[in-house]
Amino acid sequence: MSHLRIRPENKNGCVTHVTPESAGWTYVGFDLHRLKPGETVSAKTGDREACLVFVSGKGKTEAGGQDLGELGQRMTPFEGKPWSVYVPQGSDWSVTATTDLELAVCTAPGLNGGLPVRVIKPDDLGQEVRGKGSNTRHVTNILPENEPADSLLVVEVITPAGNTSSYPPHKHDHDDLPRESYLEETYYHRFNPPQGFGFQRVYTDDRSLDEAMAIEDGDVVLVPKGYHPCATCHGYDLYYLNVMAGPKRTWKFHNAVEHEWLLKG
């Protein structure tokens, strides 16, 4: 199995744990917690910032000494927009599940920005449709670069059954602004129905990295560099949650030249 594909380790609790050290990179961290009602997860951000994404389910939430009440709404990531919480560095947070809860914890370095704890409501989120035909996908911007954060960029995408996504292939692995930004990235994948599967390829122009992976429900794919398109098979919608971070908080990407013609039609 590819070292870039991470399978969930448990059915409950912290099922996925990605740190910069385990991934072999510098910026992005990603944890996925599955909790039963009454179970609690908590942490201190330290010198990192966090974005808590309620992938599905509800929970009573505290952050930075504030009682934020019960957050969450949808019972599946394929149903509406998420609730999220931005937690700056030097803060603590906790979430106690009130239903079955799937909570993503996205982290990256804090930069002493002095930002406050912020609840990100579904109504606050912009959505857009990208692509056309069998390359159509639906994008929800949770923490885009025009919203306050130090390092994190967070977005979720739903790709209809049989479609491609993150396509035509693009990359963001060079600190070469304004043309391209360096951003590490994780993909957290879910399928509907959950027995579905798809494929993701991570590769560079010189093919020094070239890995093609079958992806299943609950998998996380690491993208340290290179292009990273994915596709879902007929009959199965694909959800993924992207976390990106790098030395500068901006998303500037470079398309694979040989496939750029697809954008001209």
| Per-residue pLDDT, 218 | 98
CA distance 4 to 86: 27
- Going by pLDDT thresholds of 50, 70 and 90, the confidence category of residue 148 is very high
Averaged pLDDT score across all residues of the chain: 97
Among 140, 164, 166, 165, which residue's Cα sits nearest to residue 153? 140
| Per-residue pLDDT, 48 | 98
221 neighbors 16 (Cβ within 8 angstroms): no
Q: Does 113 have pLDDT greater than 90?
A: no
Q: What sign has the CA pseudo-torsion 74, 76, 81, 85?
A: positive
What is the pLDDT averaged over residues 70-84?
97
Percent of the chain past pLDDT 90, that is, above it, reads 96
- Going by pLDDT thresholds of 50, 70 and 90, the confidence category of residue 1 is low
Sketch the domain layout of the chain as residue ranges: 8-263
CATH code at 8-263: 2.60.120.10
Query: Over the stretch 17-44, which tens digit does the pLDDT of each residue have?
Result: 999 999 999 999 999 999 999 999 999 9
Largest Cα span, the chain: 52
| Per-residue pLDDT, 11 | 82
| Per-residue pLDDT, 12 | 86
Query: Over the stretch 159-215, which tens digit does the pLDDT of each residue have?
Result: 999 999 999 999 999 999 999 999 999 999 999 999 999 999 999 999 999 999 999
CA distance 202 to 199: 10
Both tokens of residue 141?
């911007």
Among 186, 110, 105, 117, which residue's Cα sits nearest to residue 150? 110
What is the pLDDT averaged over residues 69-91?
97
| Per-residue pLDDT, 265 | 66
| Per-residue pLDDT, 85 | 98
Both tokens of residue 102?
């799937």
Q: Does 264 have pLDDT greater than 90?
A: no
Q: Does 72 have pLDDT greater than 80?
A: yes
| Per-residue pLDDT, 114 | 85
Q: Does 255 have pLDDT greater than 70?
A: yes
| Per-residue pLDDT, 127 | 94
| Per-residue pLDDT, 2 | 80
CA distance 156 to 127: 10
Query: Over the stretch 205-243, which tens digit does the pLDDT of each residue have?
Result: 999 999 999 999 999 999 999 999 999 999 999 999 999
